[in-house]
Amino acid sequence: MVSEHVHATGGDTSLLALKILVAGGFGVGKTTLVGAVSEIKPLRTEELLSEVGRSVDDTDGVDRKVTTTVAMDFGRITIRSGLSLYLFGTPGQDRFWFLWDELSQGALGAVVLADTRRLEDCFPAVDYFEHRHIPFVVAVNCFPGARTYSAPEVARALDLDQGTPVVLCDARDRASGKEVLIRLVEYAGRVHTARLLDSVS
């Protein structure tokens, strides 16, 4: 979590800034989600897919994808007055996972984007956050033409810990993405509060 004071014209304004990760498999919509909700021009580190990359990146189901994130995406959104979220989109391919430990330092929580056509692609992200006890929500990006599953069905398929939220969303839509982030902040806040109470009891 990041807390800072922003010096604005007319005096100091106390601003709480929370770090959020956006993770998931290759081509699931992480860059799209960050770009859709960010109130600043998002930082992107996308490169064109090469023929060499195509031999190691599974593009089944995302045949039209021509770029890939090679470091991270970054954006910012103000949830309410005095509360902003800094969004860090992680690269989805195995060969970039060494970046995850650095990006996860100080994070309040994470959004794991899922595509029901390639649900197994989000297993590594789910495992990563579960093993490190980082609160996360699973956001099912509802692609046009994909079969629709309910949140409980997705939770069972992913064998999520009880209470882990699953929400349906459209990563292209700002309001939908903002709702996902609000759900994460609320959930992560409850988890961190419970842990704090346990530590002092």
Residue 11 pLDDT grade (very low, low, confident, very high; cuts 50, 70, 90):
very low
pLDDT of 130-141, one tens digit each?
Answer: 999 999 999 999
The reported pTM is 0.81
**What is residue 83's predicted lDDT score, i.e. its pLDDT?**
93
* Average pLDDT value for the chain: 84
Residue 94 pLDDT grade (very low, low, confident, very high; cuts 50, 70, 90):
low
For every residue of 128-194, which 3-state class applies, written as one string?
HHHHCCCCEEEEEECCCCCCCCCHHHHHHHHCCCCCCCEEEECCCCHHHHHHHHHHHHHHHHHHHHH
**What is residue 5's predicted lDDT score, i.e. its pLDDT?**
43
Q: Nearest to residue 93, comparing CAs of 46, 150, 142, 134? A: 46
**What is residue 2's predicted lDDT score, i.e. its pLDDT?**
57
Lowest mean pLDDT among 63-67, 103-107, 153-157: 63-67
More confident residue, 180 or 49: 180
**What is residue 70's predicted lDDT score, i.e. its pLDDT?**
47
Q: What is the mean pLDDT of residues 48-66?
A: 51
Is the predicted pLDDT of residue 155 greater than 90, yes or no?
yes
**What is residue 61's predicted lDDT score, i.e. its pLDDT?**
52
